[in-house]
Every structure is written in structure tokens, then in C-alpha cells.
Structure 1
Amino acid sequence: MLAKLRSALTQSRVTAGTGSARVTGPIRHQQRLVYAILIVMALYFAVIGTLNVIVFADYPVALLDYAGAIGVLAALVFFHRSGNLLIASWLVVLILIGVLLSFIHMAEGRNYSVIWVTVLPPVAFFLLGRRAGAWLSGLIFAYVIGFVYLYLPQWPPAQMTLGAWLNIVEVLTAQWFIFRLYERSRAEAFAELETLSITDKLTGLLNRSHLDTLLQYELERCSRSGQPLTLVLCDIDHFKRINDEHGHLTGDIILREFAKVLRQHTRANDICGRWGGEEFLIICPDTPVDAAAAITSKLHTALAAAHFSKGLSVSSSFGIASQTGTDALQLSDHLLRRADDALYDAKRRGRACAVIAAGGGAYQPVPRRAKVT
């Protein structure tokens, strides 16, 4: 994990020196969890220190707890200002080790104080990675095992005192907090990764791979339900000219702005994504061909009214193909080929128009005559 974080850190943008660290990239969840662990540790040390003062009047141990809280707060301030995840992680783990071992020594292993060492592995493994976490936890465990072996002859018979009971309760509570924070971060990271896997990075629409999956699903559902399924394949007109005359960065901006128009002017149940390059696919479940043609008319009007970068005028050609529920189940490639043929027929007929593939009526969303291929 640490190697991945280092790689991610080099690819991420960290802005420091403004009182906060802003990170974009895959380490965002790691950073949030480090913040959470630091805050929880500081509060935990402070609460336990106060308990040692009020309940046990054990001022040396309370002083140790307060020192741990101050150290964690210092690490939090450092991390907040520098954004250095690696150093902050090591600071957290080393402070935790120092406080745990000092407490075990001061208690001479009594009152189940050694149970506190079990808090170390989940923190060390998550913050430092599998290799460093394993080595560090193993060394500390070996040290504590040796310590217990040396002190064992001096221990009185075990008694469940209030101090022992509190040690067990506090450790179990700490474990609950740590694993809850870890699981929440893991679930959020997994959800974000899942979203990224189905999303086109440039436009924010669905990517081609996920469109393929959804199209096959909708075809099968169409066959079962008897409802029509219509595809609209659209292509930005003269997009190569935009790239050649204004640069590829402008072209990327136009793609994002075009995608925004698609999102705003398609229906909630329509599935819209980037098919590749300047081509976009709209899957229209339970939609007859005339309703899909009306969508292209709406999109044509919206594109004409939209304000694109550098004052560019952007239009699109549309190819429409439909599969009715009473037809034999078609392969997605066949339906896409029909939409693609209709799209290129629209291009040949002057662009900025829609052509409906054979099997549906002709439609004219702009002042040009639409043909049936």
C-alpha cells in the first residue's frame, strides 16, 4: 500500500503553505483517514489522561497520556500545513509506540496493560503499508513478549480490578473506532474506484465499456418486456477542424461542454455516454423511434442556443436505430451498426441532421430532409 501511495503522491497535486493541504488523486481517502485517526488519538489520550487524574490519581501515567495528546496534535498541525502523508504517518505510529511502551513499563505489565499493544497493528498496517507495518508490529510484539516473560515471576495472581477493567474497555473501544474509520474509508474508496471504472475521465459521462454492458442488458430486457429500445449515435460536426484551428485543449473543452448539453437535455431514464473520440451514444429504453427523434430535435435546439468556448458554433449529426420488443433479439453490434450507418448517412447529407435507420419513419430535426437508410 505504501508503494502505491508513494506513486500516487507523485501524480497528485499538493498545495501547502496556505494553512491547509489540498490533495487530488487516489490518496484523498488516505489523507482523510489520517486526519480522523489523529483527531481520535488526541481525544483518546486526553480522555484517558483525565481518567487517570480523577479516578486513580495516577499523575505520572496521566502526564504520559497528555504528552501523547500534545505529540499527536503537533503531528496534526504538521500534516495540515505540509500535506506530507508519509512523514505524518510515521509520526503517528512512533508516538503511539512511545506512549504504549511507556505505559506498559510504568504499569509493569499489570492490570492487563499489555493489551494496549493490540492497538498498534491496525494503525501501523494502514498508515505504513503491509511490509513496514508487519516488521514494526512484529518487533514491538517480540519486545512486549520478552518484557512479559521477564516480569511474569513478579506478577501477583491476576485480579480483575477497576484499572484492569478500564484497560480492556478502552482498548476494545479504540479498536472499534479504528476499524470503523478504516472500513468507512475503504467503502468510500471502493465506491469512488467503481465510479471511475465506468466513467469517461474527460466528459464525466459513462465510458464505452460500461455502455456496452448496459446496452446488452437493455436489449435482453427489451426482448422480455416487448418494449422498444432505440439508440441515438451522435457525432460533433467538423470536430477535426476545431482541433486543427483552435488546438486540442480547446477540443477537450468543447467535448466537456457538449457532454453537459447532452446531460441537461436528455431524459432521466436515458443512458448517455461517450462512445469514442467525438462520438456519443444515447440508449433510450422503452422508447419508440419517433420519441428518440424528438430527443435529437431538442438536442439540436439546445446546441444552437448553447454558449461554447471561444464563441464556437457546435452542431451534431445523429443516427437513430430501433429494436422493437416483437423483433428477434439482435446482437448489440448489429443495432450499433445500423445506428452508425444512419449517422454517416446524416454526415453525407450535409450534417446537423438526423437519419433513422430502416425500420422507422423519417425524421427531420433541422431544415434538411431526413432520409431512411
Structure 2
Amino acid sequence: MPPISPQPTRAASPADARVRRVVVLGCAGSIGTQTLDAIRHINGLHDRGRFPHRFEVVGLATGRNVEAMIGQARSLGVTRCAIAEGSYKVEGIDLDSGPGSAERLVRETECDLVVGAIVGVAGLPGVLAGLERGVDIALANKETLVAAGSVVIPLARRTGARILPIDSEHAGVWQCLMHAAGPDYAPPHEAPQSVHRVTLTASGGAFRGRDPADLTDATPDEALVHPNWDMGAKVTVDSATLVNKALELIEAHWLFGLEADRLDAVIHPGSVVHALVSMKDGSVIAQMGTPDMRTPIMRSLTFPGVSPEPLAPLDLIGAGPLEFRPIEGSWRRAIDLGFRAIRAGGDAGAVFNAANEVAVRAFLDRRIPFGRILDIVESVCDALSPAPAEELGSILEADARARAHADSLVGSP
């Protein structure tokens, strides 16, 4: 990674401070496209005099979907883009390519906010580049903190960059904590000591209510039918195994400075309550909203303000009863692996995340059955002892070791 260039202040804003310049990493994915929807909505409110800021998208990056990205760039007037795979020339667009193109886009583009929505560890360099410049990050990529929280959080504190969570559960926790810490509160500041415990909710995924023993040979077609959310394939499979919730617990540990004994998760089939914060005085603050990712996205974009008009308002009567269930039995396996990574520290999160990425990819490619995903993840975590991880190099080394070991297990019966 290139040397860090000291920057005593945030990236300079344009003369009209009401314009917020945004770079969207992962623009062609589910979060990226919904982010652009939210930006169009907010800009429409601005044009009608209902919101003080207008957003200008100044950079787009994708992994391989060049057609979608170029279509977005044309519609939004974006002239700087990046693609990780392939090499292209597009008239009127400065299109960088290659594995480091998203990182270069962030380093070389003046912006006020970076939306980190590239899936997996591949999204880490771009996020780190923004943090190094002191630019706020609207973070959807949970792997950034799961694998590299020990690097990301100290860097954000050093440069003054804020990490604004887009993931619905962490956005919910964040909003609850504003009531305890004040309206300007944002990670990486730790949660106040008045907080007793943070509980994340889980929909239960495609297989909620079913016995894990009956799902050994479940197919990708079955696992990808999520009952509530419209998400990408990888996170939808993670929801089905509950690894998604384990990753979110690790992310919450880093975002809000909470140890394992101050974190929990429950099944909430309706996906209406996204997070609950229990205070030491016995009171509980809950954040509610429709299962629509554009709502937490808009919260991150408009912070510290609030959009005066929702894209998807919550109908309390139509939402029905609020049901909560404990995560029990074999379904707790992924959650326990997540808590184990929190307690172990070091590179344990990177190992857990890498092993899961390999196993999920193998499942989606129909090389392993559903029941082997957690077998592979747990075997890798057992085989690789946690080691200190205070720099990016050590995290990437742990990631590579875990992937190699997981690959070897995918190829064995």
C-alpha cells in the first residue's frame, strides 16, 4: 500500500458547501444501486427545497459489471470510474482498471464521503484509502471490520474520519446510541458506559424454523430465497447459515467498542426491529423500520441531518406482532464462532471471514453441499491459531492462509 500522505484536515469541500461529493465503491451491486437510488431521492428533495444538501457522485467502482457502471456514470454525469477485472476504453470517462483501481480512485478523487460496498476483503484497500485521507466512510462492507478492525478503527481515530454504518442492524444500533451519546455521535467512538448490552436481530434467513439436520443437502436455489431482504447472493447465503449475524457481531464489537459479553443476537422473523440497546437502568431502546436497505443508506448519507421524506415508511399496523426467538441448538454454531473470534482477537476475524468466503463460493458453485459450509469454516478456525494483527500485511497473510486451507478442504470429501 502506498505511504500515507499526512492530511491535517478533511478533504476540501467545494465552494458550495451544500454539495456533498460521493465515491461509490461496489456501484453495480445491491447496496451500490440502492445507494444511487437514495441519492436520486435526496437530490429530488433538495430540488424541491426540502433538504439543504445536494449529492454529486464523483466516482464509481465495480468488480466486473462494466455495462452497469457505465450506464450509471452516463445517467449521473460521472467521469471517473474504476473496474477490477478487464480493461476498457470508454469515450468521455476516465476508466482505470486492475485490482488496485478502486483504491486509486479514492486516493485521486476529491470527495466528502466514500460508500464502501465492495463485497469481501477486496473492499478493504479502498476503505483504508478513504480513512487515510480523513474522509468519512459509509460502510456496507462488513468484512472490512471483521478482518481488519484492529487496523481500521485506530486509523479512523487518528485521522478523524467517521465510519457511518449502512448495514441495517448497525445503523439501528448507531441511531439508538445517538439517544444515549448525543445527535453527533458516530463510530469509531465507543458506546457510552451507560449501555449494558447491544442486541442485533436476525431474520433467520431462507431456512428459519427448519432443523439444520434436514438441510445438509440444501441447494443454492433454496438458500437464495430470502423471506424479507433483497440482497446479493453471498450475504443471502450467510443469512441462511447465520454467519451473517456472526460477522455483524464482530463488526459491532469494532464499531462500538463492545466486548462479547455486551453483545447478543436474537431471531426476529419480521425484520422490523433491527437493533435493541439495553441500558444499565433497565430501559431498552429499539430501532424499527421497513426491511429496505435504502433507509439505513439514507441515514448515513444525510448524517447528522435526517431526510424529511422516507423512501419506504413503516406501517406499524401492517407490520403485525413483533416476535423474538432465541438462537438455539445447532443454529447457534455460527454465532459461537463469531464470539470465539471476538474473544481471540488478532487475526481470528480475518481467518473466520476468509474461510467462510471460500466455503460460500464453493456452495454457490455447487462444489459442496450447504451442510459443509460451517464444517469448513470451523475446521479452518481450529487449524489456524490466532496471531497478532496490527498492520494490513499480517491480516492479508492470515486471509491467504485461511483461504488456502479452506480450498484444500473444499476439494476433500
TM range (shorter): under 0.3
Q: TM-score, normalised by structure 2?
A: 0.18
Q: TM-score, normalised by structure 1?
A: 0.20
